[in-house]
Structure 1
Amino acid sequence: MLSEKTRQVITATVPVLEKHGTDITKRFYEMLFANHPELLNIFNHANQKQGRQQTALANAVYAAALHINNLEAIIPVVKQIGHKHRSLGIKPEHYPIVGQNLLAAIKDVLGDAATEEIIGAWAEAYGVIADVFISIEAEMYDQAEQQQGGWEGFRPFRVERKVQESDRITTFYLVPQDGGTIASFAPGQYISVKLDIPGETNTHIRQYSLSDAPGKPYYRISVKREDGQRDRPAGKVSNYLHQKVEQGDTLLLSAPAGDFVLNQEDARPLVLLSGGVGLTPMVSMLQASVAANAQRQVIFIHSTQNGDTHAMKAQIEELASKHSQLSVHWCYTQPTEQDRAAGAFEKEGYIDLAWLKQVLPTTDAAFYFCGPVSYMKAVHSYLTEMGAASADLHYEFFGPAADLG
């Protein structure tokens, strides 16, 4: 338990964290990797370069300080982060390293303002918060290993099939190399892929949503090739998977993880919205939903650039042809002339409020959405304006969490 004095000091530093949080976490990662370069084998370097990881950590630290008198309020966030930690292989011995460098970063950024009293209070608070993470993650490690078909760490899987879905998305069907059973998963969960890429100093780990329904003898992931833009480098892992990994090759996978999962007990209409490669968990949810309850109304809305980038279209339309309760809607932001001639899409341009009002028969539904952050911000705003309850809005970030407010 934290002392009352510590709680008061932490609460008093909340405004400081709001102002300097990202500066502190940026400095933290610089110090962490300088002192412990072996941790570069775990963290996503691209998220570091883009600043997404620093922002996500700053938000988590701020939330912990804000709720220091009621840490149970941040348990949902802890569980979300815990799933990612378990799939990456973060262990209890990493927490003292993180704490040491985080406190050093606070002192480095705040200078004389970080008094011994403040640093002492944060050291005490960090210990309590770390214990919460370690306890929750220990349960996750046990569950991943002890479930039927489960395992600890990373397990070798063979690429049974490799299928090009679109110009940018390729699907990999993965079966265990040992021929054993595999753990089931909840629709919406992901696995981590661990790669040693020739010429790269560090191991790379990336998380990919499972894009098929549970209950199959394989895992399926559908990976977008990140070609790179002015503000973002090309994806090392996605390009390696697309260009170098072939049928018969071996990949190391974690057991499925993640708390963005479909609630199949809810019988209300299900609305699945996706942008780009954000459709991967949506497809898993779609297939699982129609298999479990053919009478449940499902509305599947997908936005992409055009027909060339549209993955799994034929699969989803075939499913819709067999299930009268399933309706599909395509939104193309930059359709080709061939798309127009074929009537391949319903909405041209970006998804907007007026079109959603036409497509959605009710807001008394369960909404799940995933895609680029800008897409999710727009969808969240539109659904909120339409009157959808916040408890009915479920979403997943590819990478560190962000703010949709």
Structure 2
Amino acid sequence: MLSPSSTEVVRATLPVIGAAIDDITPVFYRRMFAAHPDLERDLFNRGNQAQGDQQRALAGAIAAYATLLVADGGPDPQQVLARIAHKHASLGITEDQYPIVHEHLFAAIVEVLGDAVTAEVAAAWDEVYWHLANALIAIERELYAATGVADGEVWRTLVVRRRVQESPDTVSFVLGSPDGGPLPPWRPGQYVSVAVRLPDGARQIRQYSLTGGQAPDEWAITVKAVPGHRDGDSIAPAGEVSNFVHLNLFEGDELAVSAPFGDMVLDTSDAPLVLISAGIGVTPMLGMLRHLREEGSTREVLVIHADRSPARHAHRQELKELVAALPGARLQRWYEDLGLRAPEDVLALGRVDLAAVELPAGARVYLCGPQPFMASTRDALVERGVDSDRIHYEVFGPDTWLASA
């Protein structure tokens, strides 16, 4: 915990720091990338930086952590760190990178707040930062040890064994070791990072859920191409890595892939399960359903999926077959456009309406899809009486609703 004096200073200055955090984080990234351009080129997601998503996610994480740290009798602040630590581990983040962040973050705080940052305020927030950093370092060290690798040494070279077009804009890749050797075990719901070298020389990294290969020596991922598009008043850039992979990765090609990480993993109890996904968010659910099928599970499982249309639903037939193979499972689908032939088991046209769904009592719920979809679905689940600690979610990209989840 923080020292008593720092706790009081942080509690008193949190409204000011919190109000300014959205101004501080862009200055922080500008300073850090100017001093370390390799971090922007080879580690951080340039698309998220361009849109400001990473800045908003960092601001939310800092504000949420500091708020919990000084709260009286609140939840453990380390509860907000597991997802960040898994993401860091999948990128190969190491302890020696935290002082770099510290240097430029505090320079940004001083630049934005000026004389308001007294020595006492700086010392208190310095304590907050190292409380956060040391907690993350400890979790990440445990993750590396559990994975059986040295800190940050998460990368291996795999070869594409098969490439399959799953829908007009999604492709799955089955990956294996060049020598045909075994791959590390993974838990249903986890993901791997994929690193590619782009034409301009940048090494960009993205995360993709493991959907499960056909053999123990295979991993499978699915990648959705992301075109540039208008998002509200701004233009969202095209997906650098996803589009590069679609155009350039084929059977026999090599790919840099991390060890598996991710904290949204399948519960191993006998509790009922509700798996809710939209679009490409179906991928971690496929990994969970494959695992349940392989172990001959009889658990009650409700699978809910939303998509634009049957034609754009990646892994549509596979999802149906996996559910059909589980005696306790049922599938409900929503499509915004059914076309001329509506599949018989589609529940409704339009967006998911949980008010029309009978939820199993005591279920553990897993969410994956666009963040607005997950946020609204989570709110609907809570309104239905589902305890928030039984709702688990996965976010690919900056977790901009961390503070409210």
TM-score (norm 1): 0.92
Question: Once the 2 structures are TM-superposed, how far is the Cα of residue 218 of structure 1 from its aligned partner?
Answer: 0.8
- Structure 2 counterpart of 1:329: 332
Question: Once the 2 structures are TM-superposed, how far is the Cα of residue 221 of structure 1 from its aligned partner?
Answer: 0.4
**Is 1:182–2:183 an aligned residue pair?**
yes
- Structure 2 counterpart of 1:158: 159
Question: Once the 2 structures are TM-superposed, how far is the Cα of residue 69 of structure 1 from its aligned partner?
Answer: 4.5
- Structure 2 counterpart of 1:75: 78
In 2, Cα distance between equivalents of 1:178 and 1:83 = 28
In the alignment, is the contact (CA less than 8 A) between 2:85 and 2:139 conserved in 1?
yes
In 2, Cα distance between equivalents of 1:344 and 1:228 = 33
Change (3 A) 1:135 1:354: closer
In 2, Cα distance between equivalents of 1:136 and 1:402 = 21
The more displaced of 90-99 and 121-130 is 121-130
Aligned residues: percent identity? 39
After TM superposition, the structure 1 = structure 2 runs for residues 21-100 of structure 1, keeping only pairs within 5 Å, are 21-40=21-40, 41-69=42-70, 73-100=76-103
Deviation string, structure 1 residues 121-142 (Cα, Å, up to 9, x no partner): 2223323332222222112122
The more displaced of 220-229 and 382-391 is 382-391
Deviation string, structure 1 residues 170-217 (Cα, Å, up to 9, x no partner): 10001012433211111110000011112x232101111111279721
In 2, Cα distance between equivalents of 1:99 and 1:191 = 27
In 2, Cα distance between equivalents of 1:296 and 1:247 = 37
In 1, Cα distance between equivalents of 2:105 and 2:271 = 45
Deviation string, structure 1 residues 269-299 (Cα, Å, up to 9, x no partner): 2111100000000111112123324321111
Change (3 A) 1:151 1:164: farther
In 2, Cα distance between equivalents of 1:279 and 1:386 = 23
After TM superposition, the structure 1 = structure 2 runs for residues 4-403 of structure 1, keeping only pairs within 5 Å, are 4-40=4-40, 41-69=42-70, 73-146=76-149, 152-198=153-199, 200-212=200-212, 216-230=216-230, 231-265=235-269, 267-337=270-340, 339-340=341-342, 342-343=343-344, 345-356=346-357, 360-403=358-401
Letter in 2 for 1:126: Y
The more displaced of 247-256 and 108-117 is 108-117
In 1, Cα distance between equivalents of 2:109 and 2:7 = 17
In the alignment, is the contact (CA less than 8 A) between 1:145 and 1:152 conserved in 2?
no
In the alignment, is the contact (CA less than 8 A) between 2:212 and 2:286 conserved in 1?
yes
In the alignment, is the contact (CA less than 8 A) between 1:307 and 1:344 conserved in 2?
no
In 1, Cα distance between equivalents of 2:224 and 2:168 = 9
In 2, Cα distance between equivalents of 1:396 and 1:287 = 18
Secondary structure, counterpart of 2:311 in structure 1: coil
In the alignment, is the contact (CA less than 8 A) between 1:10 and 1:68 conserved in 2?
no
Deviation string, structure 1 residues 218-271 (Cα, Å, up to 9, x no partner): 111011111120231110100111111101000001100011101122x12211
Instruction: Give the number of the structure with larger relative contact order, counting CA–CA contacts within 8 Å between residues 6 or more apart.
Output: 2
Letter in 2 for 1:305: R
In 1, Cα distance between equivalents of 2:126 and 2:394 = 32
Give the paired residue count: 396
The more displaced of 202-211 and 4-13 is 4-13
In 1, Cα distance between equivalents of 2:24 and 2:242 = 30
In the alignment, is the contact (CA less than 8 A) between 1:190 and 1:210 conserved in 2?
yes
Deviation string, structure 1 residues 332-380 (Cα, Å, up to 9, x no partner): 012222x33x547331011113323xxx243421111110011112211
In the alignment, is the contact (CA less than 8 A) between 1:11 and 1:68 conserved in 2?
no
The more displaced of 311-320 and 64-73 is 64-73
**Structure 2 alignment gaps of length 5 or more:** none
In the alignment, is the contact (CA less than 8 A) between 2:65 and 2:80 conserved in 1?
no
Secondary structure, counterpart of 2:310 in structure 1: coil
Deviation string, structure 1 residues 130-168 (Cα, Å, up to 9, x no partner): 222222211212222359xx9933100000000011111
In the alignment, is the contact (CA less than 8 A) between 2:273 and 2:363 conserved in 1?
yes
Secondary structure, counterpart of 1:13 in structure 2: helix
Letter in 1 for 2:88: H
Letter in 1 for 2:355: A
In the alignment, is the contact (CA less than 8 A) between 2:190 and 2:264 conserved in 1?
yes
Question: Once the 2 structures are TM-superposed, how far is the Cα of residue 331 of structure 1 from its aligned partner?
Answer: 0.7
Change (3 A) 1:174 1:197: same
In 2, Cα distance between equivalents of 1:15 and 1:21 = 10
TM-score (norm 2): 0.92
Change (3 A) 1:179 1:293: closer
**Structure 1 alignment gaps of length 5 or more:** none
In the alignment, is the contact (CA less than 8 A) between 2:324 and 2:330 conserved in 1?
no
Question: Once the 2 structures are TM-superposed, how far is the Cα of residue 84 of structure 1 from its aligned partner?
Answer: 0.8
